[in-house]
């Protein structure tokens, strides 16, 4: 795998997509940055983040917590870290959608901005996302809206990436 590639890893909940992305990152020469989009809003989330951080161990030089300004954080990190893992796109979309009553179109504009700046990032960037559209239509209108948003964002990101994997049962299927 050449350096500087942009890689998207999608999959369902507990599909092993993050572990797969992490192993891929750890096979590349570092230093490595882990860019977490999760917001620590309660103790449960805090413990979960701490556990994940411990699991990553010494192979990762820094954890950057950035729930909103993913674009800015990537541009700052790219000059220091040849490998950056973003975990995950779906939480980032959720954070933007829920803040400031953003509408899905505005959120998709931020996805477009991210895509525009990806080629300027010299690091290998491995982005983890969720596939959420393979169940029955949700009754909750917000869930339907988010499902559409995540699907559109994943299509845009996949088109902009060099390589795309779908992970199920911890095993990758190469889509691109």
Residue 4 CB, nearest approach to its own copies (Å): 21
3-state secondary structure of 60: coil
3-state secondary structure of 174: strand
Residue 6 CB, nearest approach to its own copies (Å): 13
Alpha helices in 3-128 (DSSP H): 17-26, 43-56, 70-77, 89-98, 104-117
Residue 140 CB, nearest approach to its own copies (Å): 7
Compare residues 8 and 85 and give the one whose CB is closer to its own copies: 8
Compare residues 56 and 147 and give the one whose CB is closer to its own copies: 147
- Is residue 80 annotated as part of the catalytic site, yes or no? no
Query: How many residues does this entry show for the chain?
Result: 176
Question: Which residue is associated with the tokens 């103790």?
Answer: 43
Question: Which residue is associated with the tokens 């939480």?
Answer: 91
Selected catalytic residue, list 4, 49, 52, 102: 52
* Residues contributing to the site for its own copies (CB under 8 A): 8, 10-16, 131-140, 143, 146-148, 150-152, 154-155, 157-159, 164, 166, 168-173, 175-176
Compare residues 17 and 81 and give the one whose CB is closer to its own copies: 17
Phi, psi (deg, nearest 5) at residue 45: -65, -40
Q: Which residues are catalytic?
A: 52
């Amino acid at each position: 795998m050449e350096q500087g590639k942009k890689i998207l890893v999608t999959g369902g909940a507990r599909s092993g997509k993050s572990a797969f992305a992490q192993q891929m990152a750890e096979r590349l020469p570092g230093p490595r940055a882990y860019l977490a989009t999760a917001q620590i809003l309660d103790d449960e989330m805090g413990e979960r983040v701490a556990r994940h951080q411990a699991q990553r161990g010494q192979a990762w030089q820094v954890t950057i917590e950035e729930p909103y300004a993913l674009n800015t954080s990537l541009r700052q990190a790219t000059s220091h870290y040849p490998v950056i893992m973003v975990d995950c796109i779906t939480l980032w979309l959720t954070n933007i959608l829920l803040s400031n009553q953003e509408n899905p179109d505005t959120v998709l504009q931020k996805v477009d901005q991210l895509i525009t700046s990806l080629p300027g990032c010299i690091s290998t960037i491995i982005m983890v996302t969720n596939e959420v559209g393979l169940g029955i239509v949700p009754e909750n209108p917000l869930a339907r809206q988010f499902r559409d948003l995540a699907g559109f964002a994943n299509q845009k990101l996949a088109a902009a990436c060099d390589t795309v994997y779908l992970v199920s049962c911890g095993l990758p299927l190469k889509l691109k």
